[in-house]
Structure 1
Amino acid sequence: MRILMWHVHGSWTTAFLAGGHTCLLPVSPDRGADGRGRAETWDWPDTAVEVAPETLREQPVDLVVAQRPHELDLAERWLGRRPGRDVPAVYVEHNTPRGDVPATRHPLAGRSDVTVVHVTHFNALFWDCGRAPTAVIEHGVPDPGHRYTGELARAGVIVNEPLRRWRVTGTDLLPGLAEAVPLDLFGMGVAAVPGRLGTPPDRLRVHDDLPQAAMHAELARRRVYLHPIRWTSLGLSLIEAMLLGLPVVALATTEASEAVPPEAGVVTNRMPVLRRALRDLAADPERAREAGAAARAAAARRYPLSRFLTAWDRLLQEVTR
């Protein structure tokens, strides 16, 4: 199958590309948000093919996978066909609703020709999708292997764009949590965080925009994984950390309480409990190792790549019939 889609979420796309479909990724000279092409920090197969938007009218396309509302308009303009009517389309909803959450209508709520695919059951519950058909396909993650050493009595955190997203990603919580255990912050756009927060360098170190393999190797050396996210969909970084074998300390928000069983760490909204859990795990390597093994087993059981790909193939067959 030939699928038009955009490079929006690198880790999710990495999993989707494992399905073997040819995915056409628009690329522009500036590699901006609507033309990023192939990833530079993930290892993608040759089936991820860069295409110039102006050539798409001559390209055979079986399906459009949109991940942002305006992509449906871009697809119509570039293909000369309306997604949902002239070419099958699905919309992957990665995010939790914003604004007046209980009353938030999905951008596709008024359409019945494009299936909205939620990545968590939490998202499906909180979005009002109106008459749009919906499905839930939970994440599937390529297994990076059990690489945990926990040799550094520090907590690893992965947050992309932590300054722009701020309270959404719990960036404001980091100084208080860094008092309990030193933190290592990984992700895109993290370089300026210590200066903005005023946290001493020995309590908060940053590792900006590492390739995924290098980030995994570094993360596995940390004693515990901290997931301070307040309000976003279930982060793939959390599942990846669990598969690496790290124990988890997380806020009990969105889907985290479903993803992390009690034996894998501590999930709570009480800041004193979060700080105590970080201190306790950092101080007890054996307990951390046991919790990390439980985290890995739970993630492997619930988020296998094979289940994700099977569910997607089933849905793609349904919408392209």
Structure 2
Amino acid sequence: MNILLWHVHGSWTTSFVQGKHRYLVPVNPDRDAWGRGRARTFDWPDSVEEHPIEEIKDVDVAIAQRPEELDLIPPHVPVIYVEHNTPKDGDVPYSRHPLADRDDLIIAHVTDFNDLFWDAGGTRTTVIEHGIVEPGVRWTGELERLAIVTNEPVRRGRVTGTDLYGRFAAVAPLDVFGMGVAALQGVTAFDDPPQHEMHAEVARRRAYLHLCRWTSLGLSLIEAMQMGMPVLALATTEAVAAVPPGAGVIATRVDTLVEAAQWLIDEPDEAARMGERARQVALAKYGLDRFLADWDRLLEEETCASR
């Protein structure tokens, strides 16, 4: 099957392109948001081909991730719209999805929380939960430091919980990995490292912090769990389902998480026990085989329906 999709979310796409299909990714000379082409910091298979959008003709199905992409998709090609995000604007309980009340596509949410909070009207929806390529490293936790993986924490501020960093830095040094982290103060920043290098470094930290107040579900949280890392997360959005009891500590009371961070720093054996439980849960719930099988089923359904 020939699948058209734009390189929008590198981590999600890295999992998606591990399937059995041919993946056609638009590229332009600037390699900007509309033509990034193949990833440079993720490991993608040769089945991912980059071409100028005007040269992509033989398409069986398109994966859209931004409303503006719909006008660029060849006519009569079935469309699956992947909604990665929680609602951002307006009165959240009543947030209308930008593709609400359409009969020419299906919205595939990445979490049940997103499906619950977006009002899609009459547009068909489904949920395909995340699945990831298992990181090639395992947690060691020998460094009494806390790891955070996030993008643009300065610009996004309270969304990513950046205002909470100081409370955890009082327990242990914070190491923040991701894009746009260089401007952070009071932490050690690792700006946009290659994924395999980031995994190796994160795995050496004692625990993983997920401080996002309002987000979908960070794949870095799942990666940390699959590495066997104990996790501390705000009990918001899909994190409640991703981190069950024994696999980490989740709470809306920040002091509870600060106390848990101190506990894990002081008790490495407990950190190891919790991390192993996190690994078992994440491998079972967010395994790559399940993810690809779910996507193959949806791709087949949508292409068959369009014939």
Smaller-chain TM-score bracket? over 0.9
How many Å separate the matches in 2 of 1:205 and 1:73?
Answer: 42
**Sequence identity percentage:** 58
Contact kept in structure 2, 1:146 and 1:245, CA below 8 Å: no
Q: How far does residue 161 in structure 1 lie from its aligned partner after superposition?
A: 1.2
How many Å separate the matches in 2 of 1:189 and 1:48?
Answer: 27
CA RMSD in angstroms comes to: 0.9
* 2:140 partner letter: T
Q: How far does residue 146 in structure 1 lie from its aligned partner after superposition?
A: 5.5
Q: How far does residue 55 in structure 1 lie from its aligned partner after superposition?
A: 1.5
Which position in structure 1 is the counterpart of 2:121?
130
* TM-score, normalised via structure 2 length: 0.97
State whether structure 2 residue 3 is matched by structure 1 residue 3.
Answer: yes
Aligned equivalent of 1:66, options 61, 64, 67 = 64
Describe the SS at the equivalent of 1:267.
strand
Aligned equivalent of 2:88, options 92, 98, 105 = 98
How many Å separate the matches in 2 of 1:206 and 1:108?
Answer: 38
Describe the SS at the equivalent of 1:166.
helix
State whether structure 2 residue 229 is matched by structure 1 residue 246.
Answer: yes
* 1:176 partner letter: R
How many Å separate the matches in 2 of 1:272 and 1:165?
Answer: 22
How many Å separate the matches in 2 of 1:167 and 1:223?
Answer: 24
Describe the SS at the equivalent of 1:109.
coil
* 1:308 partner letter: F
How many Å separate the matches in 2 of 1:142 and 1:154?
Answer: 25
Structure 1 gap ranges (5+): none
State whether structure 2 residue 272 is matched by structure 1 residue 294.
Answer: no
How many Å separate the matches in 2 of 1:262 and 1:182?
Answer: 26
Aligned equivalent of 2:101, options 110, 132, 144 = 110
How many Å separate the matches in 1 of 2:242 and 2:9?
Answer: 20
TM-superposition CA deviations, 1:189-224 (whole Å, max 9, x none) = 111111xxxx2xxxx111111111000000000000
Which position in structure 2 is the counterpart of 1:221?
204
How many Å separate the matches in 2 of 1:161 and 1:293?
Answer: 30
Which position in structure 1 is the counterpart of 2:55?
55
How many Å separate the matches in 2 of 1:309 and 1:53?
Answer: 25
How many Å separate the matches in 2 of 1:137 and 1:206?
Answer: 33
Which position in structure 2 is the counterpart of 1:158?
149
Contact kept in structure 1, 2:229 and 2:276, CA below 8 Å: yes
Contact kept in structure 2, 1:145 and 1:243, CA below 8 Å: no
How many Å separate the matches in 2 of 1:130 and 1:181?
Answer: 47
Describe the SS at the equivalent of 1:23.
strand
Contact kept in structure 1, 2:42 and 2:194, CA below 8 Å: yes
1:1-321 aligned at under 5 Å gives the runs 1-56=1-56, 59-75=57-73, 79=74, 81=75, 86-99=76-89, 100-145=91-136, 147-194=138-185, 199=186, 204-321=187-304
Describe the SS at the equivalent of 1:262.
coil
TM-superposition CA deviations, 1:123-167 (whole Å, max 9, x none) = 000000111110000001111146111010011100011122211
* 2:20 partner letter: G
What count of residue pairs does the alignment treat as equivalent? 303
* 2:35 partner letter: G
How many Å separate the matches in 2 of 1:247 and 1:162?
Answer: 22
Structure 2 gap ranges (5+): none
* 2:270 partner letter: R
Describe the SS at the equivalent of 1:206.
strand
How many Å separate the matches in 1 of 2:213 and 2:207?
Answer: 19
How many Å separate the matches in 2 of 1:41 and 1:137?
Answer: 25
* TM-score, normalised via structure 1 length: 0.93
Q: How far does residue 74 in structure 1 lie from its aligned partner after superposition?
A: 2.4
* 1:4 partner letter: L
Contact kept in structure 2, 1:152 and 1:222, CA below 8 Å: yes
How many Å separate the matches in 2 of 1:5 and 1:252?
Answer: 32
How many Å separate the matches in 1 of 2:2 and 2:297?
Answer: 16
* 1:93 partner letter: E
